[in-house]
Structure 1
Amino acid sequence: MQISMKLELKDTPGQLLGALKPISDIGGNIITIIHQRDMISPENTLTVDIVLELPEKKLDTLINVLRERGCGVIRIGKERLLQKQSLIMIGHLMHTDLTDTVDQIDQTGFAEVSELHMVMPAINEPSTAKITIRAVSPEDMRRAVAILHDVSKRKNILVLEPLEGME
Structure 2
Amino acid sequence: MKLEMKDSPGQLVAALKPISDVGGNIIAVIHQREPDQDKKTLNVQIVLELPEGRLENLTAILKGQGVHIQRIDRERLLYKRTVIIIGHLMHTDLSDTVGRIDSTGYAEVSELSMSMPAVNERSSSRITIKALSKNDMESALAILRKVSEQKNLLMIEPLEEIA
Q: TM-score range by the shorter chain?
A: 0.5 to 0.7
Counterpart among 76, 84, 88 of residue 88 in structure 1: 84
Stretches of structure 1 lacking an aligned partner (at least 5 in a row): 2-26, 28-54, 57-77
SS of residue in 2 equivalent to 1:89: strand
The residue number in structure 2 matching 1:161 is 157
Matched residue type, 1:142:
E
SS at match of 1:125: coil
Provide the aligned length of Structure 1 versus Structure 2: 94
Quote the residue 1:22 is aligned against. none
The amino acid across from 2:123 in the alignment is S
* Number of the residue aligned with 2:137: 141
2: distance between equivalents of 1:160 and 1:149? 10
Compute the displacement of 1:164 (Å): 1.0
> Residue 78 of structure 2 contacts residue 132 of structure 2 at CA under 8 Å; is this kept in 1?
yes
From 88, 110, 113, the equivalent of 1:117 is 113
Asked if 1 retains the 8 angstrom alpha-carbon contact of 2:116 and 2:122, the reply is yes
Report deviation, 1:165: 2.4
1: CA distance between counterparts of 2:155 and 2:83? 7
The letter for the 2-side match of 1:153 is E
From the CA coordinates, give the structure whose radius of gyration is larger.
2
CA displacement 1:39-92 (0-9 Å, x = unmatched): xxxxxxxxxxxxxxxx58xxxxxxxxxxxxxxxxxxxxx731010000000000
Checking the alignment, whether the CA contact within 8 Å between 2:82 and 2:157 is kept in structure 1 is: yes
Please give the TM-score of this superposition, normalised by the length of structure 1: 0.53
Corresponding residue for residue 97 of structure 2: 101
Structure 2 counterpart SS, 1:81: coil
Letter in 2 for 1:146: A
* Structure-2 separation of matches of 1:79 and 1:118: 26
Q: Which runs of 4+ in 1 moved over 6 A?
A: none
TM-score by length of 2: 0.55
Q: Distance in 2 between matches of 1:106 and 1:134?
A: 10
